[in-house]
Amino acid sequence: MNRLTKVCIVITVCLLLNFSSTNQCYSETTKPKKYLKKEYRSLKGNIIVRHYGESLDDNSADIWLYSAKNPSKKLLLYSYERDADVLISPNEKWLVINYRYGSDVTDAILFKKAKGLKYDEKKYLNTLAWRLFRKMHKQYEIPEFGHNYTEAVLWSSDSKSVMVEIYGHDDLSPKALEPWFCIYDVTTGKMSLDFNRVFNRDTYHPDGEAKGRELYLN
Q: For residue 25, what pLDDT is reported?
A: 42
What pLDDT score does 28 carry? 52
For strands 83-88 and 74-80, give the pairing: unpaired
* pLDDT one-digit tens code per residue, 41-92: 998 999 999 999 998 888 889 999 999 999 899 999 999 999 999 999 999 9
Which residues of the chain have a pLDDT value below 50? Answer: 4, 6-27, 201-218
Its pTM stands at: 0.77
pLDDT of residue 174: 78
- At 200 the pLDDT is 52
Ordered DSSP codes for the chain: --HHHHHHHHHHHHHHHHHHHHHHHTSTTPPP-SEEEEEEE-SSSSEEEEEEESSTT-S-EEEEEEESS-TT-EEEEEEESSEEEEEE-TTSSEEEEEEEEETTEEEEEEEEEEETTEEEEEEE-HHHHHHHHHHHTTTS-----SEEEEEEEEE-TTSSEEEEEEEEE-SSSS-EEEEEEEEEETTTTEEE--GGGTSSSS---TT--GGGTT-EE-
Per cent of the chain over pLDDT 90 is 51
pLDDT of the residue at 113: 97
Residue 137 is predicted with a pLDDT of 84
Mean pLDDT over all residues of the chain?
Answer: 80
Please name the helix (run of DSSP H) or strand (run of DSSP E) that holds residue 13, with its range, or none: helix 3-25
* Confidence at residue 208, expressed as pLDDT on a 0 to 100 scale: 36
pLDDT at 46: 96
| Residues of the chain by 3-state class (helix, strand, coil), percent to 5 | 20, 45, 40
pLDDT at position 2 is 56
